[in-house]
Amino acid sequence: MKSSGSTSEQSRIYNERIILQLVRQTPGVSRSHIAQQTGLSAQTISVITSSLLERDLLKIDGKVRGRRGQPSVQLSLNHQGAYGLGINVDRDRISAALLDFSGHCVVSLEQQVSFPTEQMAKEIAQTLLSEVKVRLQGDWAKVQGVGLAKPDYMDAWLDSLVTDAEQRSDLAGLQAELTYWQSSAFETWLSEQTGLPCYTENDAVAAATSELLFASTAPRKHFFYLFVSIACGGSVVADGECYAGAHGKAGSFGLIPTATGKHGRWILEALSVSSLKRYFALHALAWPEFAGDWQQHECRQMIEQWSQEVAFEIQPALSAVIALYDPEAIVIGGRLPNVVQSLLIDAVQKTLAQQSVLPVPDICPAHADDAAVTLGAAVLPLYETFAPQRELLLLASSQSAKQSL
C-alpha cells in the first residue's frame, strides 16, 4: 500500500514526514524503494533525503549494489537526531521520560504520589530536566519540545476513584488542591523552564499517539484506543490520526453511562484500577503486592468475575463505538497488570460476540506496557514535529489556492 506523497513545493514538510515515517517502519530502505512507496519523483526523494541527512535525522547504513548503475544507499533513522521529553501526571503517580528519535527510552523517572500537587509535579520535572541536560550535553538543542499527558477532570469523581482511607477523610481538601490541574499553569511553567514548546493531551490520546508512531509494524489506520488507569478514557484514531472532534472531546469513553451502575454510574468509575481495588476490598481479598501474586488462583478468579461484570457494564457503549465508527480494532492499554488486561480482553470479546449484531473487531492489547502514557507524552513533540499529519497537506493546499486567486 502506497503512502500519499505530494510533489508540490508547498508540501515539502509533509513529504519529509512521509519519508521519515517510511524509513522508521523500514530501516535500511533505499531511495528507489521510497520512490516506489510514495509516488514521489527520484529527484524529490534525493533532495529531501539529502536534507534529512545533513540535519542528522537520517543516517546511511550501507550500500546495496543493484543490477546496474551506482550502488543504492540504505537509509535509517539517526536515533540521536532528535529527542522528545514527556511528563505524565496521573492521579497516583508522576512519571517522566526522554525518548530518542527511534522511540528508545533514554531516561525515565517515576514517583508514587497521594494525588499530585503542584509542588510534587514541579520537583519531579526539575529533577528530570537536570538529568536530561547532563545526559545530552550539547545535544539538548535536539529536544523538540515537552509533552504533557494528564487525565481530564482530575478533581472529579473523587468519591469513586479515591481508595486510600486517609485521603477519603478529606475529599473536599483534596479536590481544592486538584483544581490546579484544570488550568494551563503547569504547561506554561514547563515551557518557561525549558524554553521549549509544550504539547498537552489527555492520557488516552497520548497513549494512542505512541501506538501510532512507534508500533513495531505498520500501525492500524482505524482503531479505538481504550486507556485504563485510575479512571479510563478513550481515543478515536481515524485514517491514521487521532480525531479530536469539534471541541477536543472525541473518544471520551469514560463519560458514557454504564449499563446498570453496579460499579459506578459512569464507565470511568467501572472500568478502572480503582474499580478493581474496590472489588478486591469488597470481597476481603488483599491487593497483590508482587507480580507473581496476580497469578494466584483466588486472585485470578476474582479478576475473572470483575472482568465479566465490567464487560457487561461497558458492552452497550462498545457496541455503539463499533456501530458508529466501524474500527479495525479496539486496542486496550494503560496500567492494568498483564493478567488483568488479558482476562478483561477475553471477557469483552465474549460479551460483544454474544450481544453485538455487527461483526466484532479485533480486541487486542496495546503494544506498550503501563508506561505507554508516559512514553506517549514524550512522543507528542516528536509526533507534532515529524509525523505526516493530513492537516499539513490540507494547509499547503489551502495556501496554494489562495496564492492562485
Mean pLDDT for 3-12 is: 58
Mean pLDDT for 59-75 is: 72
Mean pLDDT for 219-223 is: 85
Residues in the chain: 405
Strand order in the sheet with 223-228: 241-243, 232-238, 223-228, 329-334, 362-365
In the predicted structure, residue 403 carries a pLDDT above the cut 50: no
pLDDT band at 4 (very low <50, low <70, confident <90, very high): low
Coil vs helix vs strand at 61: strand
Do 9-78 and 83-205+374-386 fold alike per CATH?
no
Residues 373, 150: Cα–Cα separation, whole Å: 9
In the predicted structure, residue 77 carries a pLDDT above the cut 70: yes
Give the per-residue pLDDT at 204: 94
In the predicted structure, residue 401 carries a pLDDT above the cut 50: no
Residue 126, amino acid: Q
Residues 213, 147: Cα–Cα separation, whole Å: 14
Mean pLDDT for 44-57 is: 92
Mean pLDDT for 41-49 is: 91
In the predicted structure, residue 123 carries a pLDDT above the cut 80: yes
Q: Which residue has the higher pLDDT, 214 or 62?
A: 62
pLDDT digit string, tens, across residues 273-329: 999 999 999 999 999 999 899 999 999 999 999 999 999 999 999 999 999 999 999
Find out whether 108 and 374 touch, Cβ atoms under 8 Å. Answer: yes
Mean pLDDT for 233-237 is: 95
pLDDT band at 396 (very low <50, low <70, confident <90, very high): very low
pLDDT band at 142 (very low <50, low <70, confident <90, very high): very high
338-355 and 297-325 helices, crossing angle to 10°: 50
CATH superfamily of this structure's domain 83-205+374-386:
ATPase, nucleotide binding domain (3.30.420.40)
Q: Is 332 exposed, middle or buried (0-12, 13-18, 19+ CB in 10 A)?
A: buried
Find out whether 254 and 232 touch, Cβ atoms under 8 Å. Answer: yes
Cα angle 380, 378, 375 (rounded to 5 degrees) comes to 115
Mean pLDDT for 195-224 is: 85
Residues 162, 174: Cα–Cα separation, whole Å: 10
pLDDT band at 64 (very low <50, low <70, confident <90, very high): low
Residues 89, 77: Cα–Cα separation, whole Å: 30
Give the per-residue pLDDT at 300: 96
In the predicted structure, residue 105 carries a pLDDT above the cut 80: yes
Give the per-residue pLDDT at 220: 83
Instruction: Name the most confidently modeled range: 100-114, 212-226, 274-288, 370-384.
Output: 274-288
Residues 55, 301: Cα–Cα separation, whole Å: 55
Mean pLDDT for 133-159 is: 92
Give the per-residue pLDDT at 108: 87
Find out whether 379 and 147 touch, Cβ atoms under 8 Å. Answer: yes
Give the per-residue pLDDT at 395: 36
Mean pLDDT for 389-400 is: 41
CATH code: domain 217-366 is: 3.30.420.40
Give the per-residue pLDDT at 404: 35
In the predicted structure, residue 331 carries a pLDDT above the cut 50: yes
What is the residue-wise DSSP string for 109-158?
Answer: EEEE-SS--HHHHHHHHHHHHHHHHHHHGGGGGGEEEEEEEE-S-TTS-H
Residues 19, 78: Cα–Cα separation, whole Å: 13
Give the per-residue pLDDT at 1: 45
pLDDT band at 402 (very low <50, low <70, confident <90, very high): very low
Give the per-residue pLDDT at 393: 36
Mean pLDDT for 185-190 is: 96
**Cell numbers found for residue 103:** 522511540
Cα angle 384, 55, 145 (rounded to 5 degrees) comes to 30
pLDDT digit string, tens, across residues 24-37: 888 899 998 899 98
Give the per-residue pLDDT at 69: 56
Give the per-residue pLDDT at 394: 36
CA distances from 196 to 168, 193, 340 (A): 38, 8, 38
Domain locations in the chain? 9-78, 83-205+374-386, 217-366
Domain 9-78 is of which CATH architecture?
Orthogonal Bundle (1.10)
Give the long-range contacts of residues 18-21, CB within 8 A, separation 24 or more. Answer: 18/388, 19/45, 19/48, 19/49, 19/52, 20/52, 20/57, 20/58, 20/77, 20/386, 20/388, 21/386, 21/387, 21/388
Coil vs helix vs strand at 385: helix
Q: What global pTM score does this model have?
A: 0.83
**Cell numbers found for residue 45:** 526523494
Give the per-residue pLDDT at 191: 95
- Which of 57-66, 99-108, 142-151 is predicted least confidently? 57-66
What percentage of residues in the chain have a pLDDT greater than 70?
89
